[in-house]
A and B are shown apart, each in its own frame.
Chain A
Amino acid sequence: MEFSYEVRDSYAEVKADGRLNMVSAPKLREFVTDVIAGGSNRIVVNLEKTAFMDSSGLGALIGCLKAARQAGGDLRIAAVQPQVKMVLQLTSMDKVLTAYPSADEAFSND
């Protein structure tokens, strides 16, 4: 899995391309923690190219969400693909991790 980020006007967009599994989950957590430490506490994780996520990956997103909130911000997810959507729904975590159609829309109403 490959991570990248870009600081936008009101948030930082993190892209996670590949499979978000037990191997890549700790790396996502570390990556987002670094982005937050760099001064961005409003994070959008763009999952457009995340074809797969398991419960480890979900746990990492929750950890990142908590880290963003502890820093006074928030974390939102965008461009969720069918498998990721299925995992979010089956675990009822779609209520906690709100999915937006695109990264642009995630913080557009704040």
Chain B
Amino acid sequence: MTDVLASRSFRGPAAEDAVESVHNDLDSLWLDVPFVQDMDQMTFTTAVIESVSNIIQHAEPAGDEPVELGVDITVQPALLQARVSAFHAQPPFGPMEPAVPGEDSESGRGLALIEALVTTVTFERQESTNTWVLSRTSSQG
């Protein structure tokens, strides 16, 4: 059995407002689990916001329904995990390998940054839902 110490969930339109909502959820989550080290909070928050922004900016609807964003975050004794989903979405377009943009490029660093921030990133597709699972093994159990 997993021992979930704290959690937050968000579901709503994949629109700009969602970025601030999810960020506020994360800030309040950390207040519930003050033992999670600052570095873990900082890296995990950044990875989740990158992932959410990626969906808002790039997810395309699969049909008539607009893309919805879902974020489920759980804190376990030694594990931070977020399931970041795009509902009613087409499969992601193009390669999912992180790019290495030139130093004067103004975009394209998000995926590489996510990979640097968390321990594992996995992708699942089920029906019309794309889900990225971000896991970070926390420094203190």
Contact = CB atoms under 8 A, between A and B. Distances in A.
Interface of A: 19, 21-23, 52, 54-56, 58-60, 62-63, 66, 82-83, 86-87, 90-93, 95-96
* Interface residues of B, dominant DSSP: helix
Contacts, number: 67
Interface residues of B, number: 25
Nearest to A61: B106
A54 B122 CA distance: 21
Given A19-B20, A23-B20, A55-B109, A86 B42 contact: yes
Contact of B56 (A22, A52, A87, A93): A22
Interface of B: 16, 19-20, 23, 38, 42-43, 45-46, 49-50, 53, 56-57, 103-107, 109-110, 112-113, 116-117
Contacts of A56: 53, 107, 110
A59 B46 contact: no
B106 A54 contact: no
B109 A91 contact: yes
User: Which of B20, B23, B49, B56: most chain A Cβ within 10 A?
Assistant: B49
B53 A21 contact: yes
B112 A59 contact: no
B23 A59 contact: no
Contacts of A95: 103
A59 B42 contact: no
A58 B107 CA distance: 8
A95 B104 CA distance: 12
Given A60-B106, A62-B106, A22 B20 contact: no
A54 B105 contact: no
B107 A23 contact: no
A86 B49 contact: no
Contacts of A58: 109
A41 B23 CA distance: 34
